[in-house]
Amino acid sequence: MTTRQFGQPLKRNEDPRLLTGHALFTDDVQLPGMLHVAFWRSDLAHAFIRSVDVESARKRPGIVAVYTAEDLGEFWQPGPLLVPPPPVEQLEFHQRTQVPLAKGKVRHAGEAVAMVVAESRYLAEDALDDVYVDYEPLEAVVDLEAALAAGAPLVHEDLGTNVSARVTQTKGDWAAAESEADLVLRRRYHYDRGTAAAMENRGIAASWDERAQRLTVWDTTQAPIAIRNGLAAMLGLSEHQVRVIAPFIGGGFGPKIMMFYPEEVLLAWAAVQLNCSLKWIEDREENFYATTQERGQIHDAAIALKRDGTVLGVKDRFLHDAGAYAPYGLTVPINSQCTLLGPYVVPSYRSEFTSVFTNKPIVTPYRGAGRQHGVFVMERLLDAAARRLSLDPAEIRRRNFIPPEEFPYSNEIIYQDFAPLVYDSGNYEPALDRALELIDYERFKQEEQPRREAAGERVGIAVVNYIEGTGIGPYEGARVTVEASGKVSVATGVGTQGQGHYTSFAQVVAEQIGVDVPDVHVVTGDTDLFYWGAGTFASRGAVVAGNAMHAAATKVRRKILKLAGEKLEAAEEDLELIEGRVQVKGVPQTSISLGALAAEANPMRGAVQPGTEPGLEATEYFGPERGATASGVHAMILRVDKDTFLLEIERYVVVHDCGTVINPLILEGQIQGGVAQGIGNAFYEQLHFDENGALRNASLMDYLLPTASDIPNIVSDHVETPSPLNPLGVKGAGEAGAIPVGALFAQALDDAYRDIELEVREIPLSPNRLFELVGEALTRERA
């Protein structure tokens, strides 16, 4: 082929529809006679339910049905455990998963207790006023340490403990590292909760067609196939009777991979029960309680080093806030545990965590999925050590990088995908050098910072590293078909949440088939069009589905060449695919269009050779043996208003390595969006729960998302170290932007206040918190 499609910064196929408001989102689904659903949600975080009275609600005009847990009968079941614990040796695990409607007890504020089906959402919400729940309030489990104290109230009484899981993983010998070390530092770090706050809240529309005996569900899910399989099983239907469509989704960021949300199973069930179509769209307030959250951890960590900054070992013990139920198993804390090791040689590591049930909304992965915490701990430890050893922060990192010749590099512990934590490839120093160059590190430190500080300003610089385990299995599939129009259709089950799959997947396919990217029509997220798949999560779409596309497209290419060879009476090696045609190389007169070839491949009369498959079509699957490890460096110059403690990011640099790049423009979007979320996480977004487990800022007025004016221009660059684990050489890029930002803020602030030895040990921050921390540092300094 002549024009390359792969690797080009092409504009996105889906954007015209999205930007002109013509894309289908779940709330756009309007069906005749559609009913609407509202949920009665608990305002208490922890209470026994003595009784639920919905009689007067049922009698209101326009109310079709009101359900409580009792009304669900056999259908009432706790949800499945999505991710079983990985095979680590030292493991304690207690499975407790969410229920469709609370029965006997509520375990977090916002947990659904009753479901109202009405002719309109207004009437449904009116009826909520007539639901009466008789509670016996209980002391709430909010604080992680208090949760583990003797005599603490229990989230799940039958367990006899609030421990959801305990895991210890080790590498080398920490005790030896500690005794050999010239310096051992111990620190406590806090990382608090936030929420993904996707622009589109969750939503579900379900419709039962009695004559066809089929259920159709539109769902803002990142995993339509798993939803179909689960719903079919729960409802006693064949998988062929259930069609799940995940249409366009206005951001998922992880919480939309969670399943099964109570609303997901209840709407499907009620559609069948009532033989109707109905819809529930989560409102923003509900989203703060009913959609999963992340990030609460407390770490007690230690690092052992030699005088020259060489790391000998790290020890970490941490508490992880699981929320009221833990349907996602150990993914988040295992990610924290594994990602902590970063791009560094850490010969000895001992990491032990306790995942704790609390009376707060459920925790499942949210962009970064625990990686933030690990990176924060390691980067902070290195910064503290650098200060003590009078080393530059960039230098201490450089001294500890895994050298490029050491790959594949084994960290000896088990990762979230159950495989050993082995980095496939990486080359860290060039990325660091490039970042330092782009931020103009030396000049800032030598010249600009002293000059500005002399003028009374507070300015700091920071540079941090991270790795990101991406592209994990198990598998995805794709079917590639050349249609008689000459256009290509592609179907996959992976699901999409706005990442640009309609374009990047099309690029992978177009590269093999020699058509223009806009002529490749991608369908994701419709279970009627592709049967198999896992979902879009863990920065895996491009790696796993992308390689399945590549395999299927390669196979179709071979079919094209074979058939064209026959038709054109030419050897396959002499053919080329150009602009939707197959031609004898350099002889455009001897050619056939892909459309004509597709028609030939699907004869309507006559006979074919036995064994002939119709069409120019292939279906392939791809499952990597383990994940691919991406990496990167972020650098920043930060100015602090020393009077108000407001921040201004003056320069932000990202140098990133996600292997081979499919579309640099889409990658840039992923990085920028990730950084924006990271900035929110570092300085704006925090969920404030009071001692009763009530959320004090369940609205976007008080939960601050970064806005355009808070996000700087981001200068980015790439280093490409292809992954040897897949034919395309790609690694995931979905979460990278968000991961190291907390650590970056902390280092920059420390630097701006190095004269008073400020040491930030927590994220998120705020102007108020910075005011307090600076005040404390000043008091220490004066003492």
Q: Does 772 bind other proteins (CB under 8 A)?
A: yes
Q: Does 688 bind other proteins (CB under 8 A)?
A: yes
The CA dihedral of 326, 329, 330, 332, to the nearest 10 degrees, is: -60
Give min distance, CB of 128 to other proteins, in A. 9
Give min distance, CB of 124 to other proteins, in A. 8
Give min distance, CB of 692 to other proteins, in A. 15
150, 768, 782, 783: which one contacts other proteins (CB under 8 A)? 768
Q: Does 51 bind other proteins (CB under 8 A)?
A: no
Give min distance, CB of 684 to other proteins, in A. 7
Q: What is the 3-state secondary structure (H, E, C) of 531-573?
A: CCCCCCCCCCHHHHHHHHHHHHHHHHHHHHHHHHHHHHCCCHH
Alpha carbon distance 218, 25 (integer Å): 9
Burial of 433 (0-12, 13-18, 19+ CB in 10 A): middle
Q: Residue 320 has which token pair? A: 């992880």
Q: Is the peptide bond before 61 cis (omega within 30 degrees of 0)?
A: no
Residue 342: what are its φ and ψ, rounded to 5°? 55, -155
126, 321, 526, 617: which one contacts other proteins (CB under 8 A)? 126
Alpha carbon distance 256, 366 (integer Å): 9
Q: What contacts 24+ positions apart, CB below 8 Å, involve 409-414? A: 411/171, 411/338, 411/341, 411/346, 411/349, 412/171, 412/172, 413/88, 413/169, 413/170, 413/171, 413/337, 413/338, 413/349, 413/351, 414/86, 414/87, 414/88, 414/169, 414/334
Piece of the chain touching other proteins by CB under 8 A; list 158-166, 333-341, 392-400, 760-768? 760-768
> Binding residues for other proteins, how many (CB under 8 A)?
29
Q: Which amino acid is at 135?
A: Y
Give min distance, CB of 755 to other proteins, in A. 20
Q: Residue 490 has which token pair? A: 């592609």
Contacts of residue 743, defined as CB under 8 A and 6 or more positions apart, other chains included, come to 375, 376, 379, 380, 464, 466
Alpha carbon distance 169, 114 (integer Å): 42
Q: Does 20 bind other proteins (CB under 8 A)?
A: no
Positions in 632-651 near other proteins (CB under 8 A): 643-646
Give min distance, CB of 697 to other proteins, in A. 6
H or E segment to which residue 454 belongs: helix 449-454
Positions in 282-341 near other proteins (CB under 8 A): 283-285
Q: Does 684 bind other proteins (CB under 8 A)?
A: yes
Piece of the chain touching other proteins by CB under 8 A; list 95-103, 392-400, 483-491, 766-774? 766-774
Piece of the chain touching other proteins by CB under 8 A; list 20-28, 47-55, 61-69, 764-772? 764-772
Piece of the chain touching other proteins by CB under 8 A; list 141-149, 162-170, 522-530, 703-711? 703-711
Contacts of residue 245, defined as CB under 8 A and 6 or more positions apart, other chains included, come to 216, 217, 218, 219, 224, 525, 526, 527
Nearer to other proteins, 89 or 643 (CB): 643
Nearer to other proteins, 347 or 767 (CB): 767
Q: Give which of 657, 668, 658, 662 is closest to 550, Cα–Cα.
A: 662
Nearer to other proteins, 16 or 775 (CB): 775
Give min distance, CB of 681 to other proteins, in A. 15
168, 229, 692, 697: which one contacts other proteins (CB under 8 A)? 697
Give min distance, CB of 153 to other proteins, in A. 25
Nearer to other proteins, 285 or 433 (CB): 285
Give min distance, CB of 676 to other proteins, in A. 13
Alpha carbon distance 254, 600 (integer Å): 44
Alpha carbon distance 350, 740 (integer Å): 22
Pairing relation of β-strands 420-423 and 458-470? unpaired
59, 388, 696, 780: which one contacts other proteins (CB under 8 A)? 696
Give min distance, CB of 126 to other proteins, in A. 6
Determine the Cα angle at 716 with ends 714 and 720, to 5°.
Answer: 160
Beta strand extents in 309-376 (DSSP E only): 311-323, 348-357
Q: Does 704 bind other proteins (CB under 8 A)?
A: yes
Positions in 185-244 near other proteins (CB under 8 A): none
- For residues 718 to 757, the per-residue mask of contacts with other proteins, x marking binding by CB under 8 A and - elsewhere, is ----------------------------------------
DSSP string, 384-413: HHHHHTT--HHHHHHHHBPPGGG-SEEEEE
Nearer to other proteins, 127 or 560 (CB): 127
Query: Helix H segments across 585-644?
Result: 594-600
Q: Residue 669 has which token pair? A: 């979007």
Nearer to other proteins, 35 or 653 (CB): 35
Nearer to other proteins, 308 or 702 (CB): 702
Nearer to other proteins, 451 or 688 (CB): 688
Alpha carbon distance 674, 658 (integer Å): 14
30, 390, 709, 713: which one contacts other proteins (CB under 8 A)? 709
Positions in 86-125 near other proteins (CB under 8 A): 121-122, 125
Chain residues binding other proteins by CB under 8 A are 121-122, 125-126, 283-285, 643-646, 684, 686, 688, 696-697, 699, 701-702, 704, 706-707, 709-710, 766-768, 771-772
